Amino acid sequence: METLVFFGLAVPILVLAVVVVTTPHILRAVVSLFLALVGVAGLFFLMRAPILGVMQLMIYAGGVVVLFAFAVMLVRRVTGEFVRQQTGLAGPALVVGLLFFVVLMGIGSGYLAGLEDEAAAAGSVHPVSRDLAERLVLTDVPEEIDPVEDFSPVMIRDYVIPFEIASILLLVAMIGAVLVGHPLEQKHPGGEIEPEEPAEEGEGA
């Protein structure tokens, strides 16, 4: 049942992803990306990572895609015409993409096969590898871990320094987006922001 849901989400996501990278209409690409991101959020819920699912919906699907939409609209206002997505180099790109996938899969499956051979030959493998092999095929999700409850202590206690770095990062991104995207005519810092800018401001939250 769960696997059916997985396929029901994964296949549309991949189709939408292909649309994102091939469609000539940029707004269509943005909308497809939005739907694909919602689908990925569904996968997170399926993986019993509700926090990630909610974050994906709120920040990614809700924030980033809106940001993209704003950028497309802005660009359209500046150039006065609809932006068309051109695709050059499709052949080489296809080769690069496929090659990467084949190599990755080859290494991954070769790795698993190697583990089995080794286990057959020696009767035992390194514990970590065995763990990994089991984890790749078996799917027992330990129920005793509550992702929501266990999440915040780790984030705020053990990982407080990356957390603080995140705050600096978002601060810099906010300042940077405002300064760089600021209209040229306006010479004074700290002045009011043009009506079309607020999409770039919402990120500090």
Partner 1 sequence: MVYLIPEFLLVLVGAVGLVIAFAPSRPRLRAYSLVGGLTCFGGAVVAGYLAYLATTDLGAELAATAPGYLTTTLALDPFSRVFAVLSLIVCGLTFLLSKEYLETRMQDHQPELLAVIAFAAAGMSFLGSARELITIWFSIELLSVCGYVLAAFTKDDERSAEAALKYFILGTASSAFMLFGLSYVYGMTGRLDLVGIMEATAGDGIGVLLPTAAVLMLVGFGFKVAMVPFHMWCPDVYEGAPTPVTAFLSVGPKLAALAALARVFSTAFPHEVARVAWEGVLFWGALITMTLGNVVAIKQSNIKRMLAYSSIAHAGYMLVAVLVTLRSDLALSALAIYAFAYVFMNLGAFAVVTSFSNRTGSDALHSYNGLARRSPYLAWAWAFFALTLVGLPPTAGFLGKAYIIMAAWDAGATWNSPMFWLLVVLVLNSAISLAYYMGVAGRMFFKPPAHDDPVPVGGGVGTAIGLCLAGTLLMVLAAGPIIGAIQNGAVFALH
Partner 2 sequence: MSLNDIFPETVPTGYYLVFAALLFCIGLFGLVSRRNAIGMLLSIELMMNAVNVNLAAFSRSGLEVGQIQGQLLVVFTVTVAVAEAAVGLAIIVAMFKLRKTVNADELNLLRG
Q: Which residues bind partner 1 (CB under 8 A)?
A: 104, 107-108, 110-111, 114-115, 118, 125-132, 157-162, 165-166, 168-169, 171-173, 175-176, 179-180, 182, 184, 187-190
Minimum CB distance to partner 2 smaller for 94 or for 113: 94
Calculate ∠ Cα 33-85-94, nearest 5°.
75
Residue 6 in contact with residue 45, Cβ under 8 Å?
no
Q: Alpha-carbon distance 129 to 107, whole Å?
A: 15
Q: Does 17 bind partner 2 (CB under 8 A)?
A: yes
Minimum CB distance to partner 2 smaller for 66 or for 119: 66
Alpha carbon distances (Å) from 57 to 33, 38, 66, 72: 12, 6, 12, 21
Q: Does 106 bind partner 2 (CB under 8 A)?
A: no
Using CB distances below 5 to 8 A depending on partner kind, what does residue 8 bind out of partner 1, partner 2, none? none
Q: Whole-number minimum distance, CB 76 to partner 1, in Å?
A: 18
Which of the ranges 83-91, 117-125, 187-195 carries the binding residues for partner 2, by CB under 8 A? Answer: 83-91
The DSSP secondary-structure symbol of 177 reads H
Q: Does 193 bind partner 2 (CB under 8 A)?
A: no
Dihedral pair phi/psi, residue 184, rounded to 5°: -70, -35
Using CB distances below 5 to 8 A depending on partner kind, what does residue 107 bind out of partner 1, partner 2, none? partner 1
Q: Alpha-carbon distance 178 to 80, whole Å?
A: 23
135 residue type, one letter: R
Minimum CB distance to partner 1 smaller for 4 or for 189: 189
Tell me, by CB under 8 A, how many residues bind partner 2.
93
Q: Alpha-carbon distance 37 to 31, whole Å?
A: 10
